[in-house]
Amino acid sequence: MNLLLVSVGGMLGAICRYVLGIAIMSKFPTPPFPIAMLIVNVLGSLGLGVFYGSYYGGIPLGAYEESVFLLVAIGFFGAFTTFSTFSMETVQLYQKSAWKPLLAYISLSIVGSITMFVFGFSITK
């Protein structure tokens, strides 16, 4: 049952990431850095913070057997956000020697994601 919950959440998260990414790329066809994944990862961090704050009121330890945690936190947000794509796009910018966009992308992705998680968590807990 746990694998099914993670799978369903992951499927929904991946679909949402894809649809949102396509929508963002249609609005910004030639951004200076990968803005679609930046927005997806920052929004995903906000959403995960909101989930933890509103559902748990804290960051749970050992919730890996809870259905809602598996579906939402691991499945949906695990598939919605993507560190692997962030890593690949970072390497692409590095290979192009695009130093300013590289620094902006790394900084905004990491600081933005953490900040939005904390924000989402604090406004809902």
pLDDT digits (tens, 9 = 90+) for 69-104: 999 999 999 999 999 999 999 999 999 999 999 999
Rg, Å, the chain Cα set: 15
Q: How far apart are CA 101 and CA 108, in angstroms?
A: 10
Q: Which residue shows structure tokens 């600081």? A: 111
Annotated binding site for Na(+): 78, 81
> Is it the case that residue 62 has pLDDT exceeding 90?
no
Query: What percentage of the chain carries pLDDT values higher than 70?
Result: 100
Annotated binding site: 78, 81
The structural domains of the chain, with segments of one domain joined by +, span 2-124
Name the pTM for this structure.
0.94
> Is it the case that residue 57 has pLDDT exceeding 90?
yes
Residue 52: the pLDDT is: 97
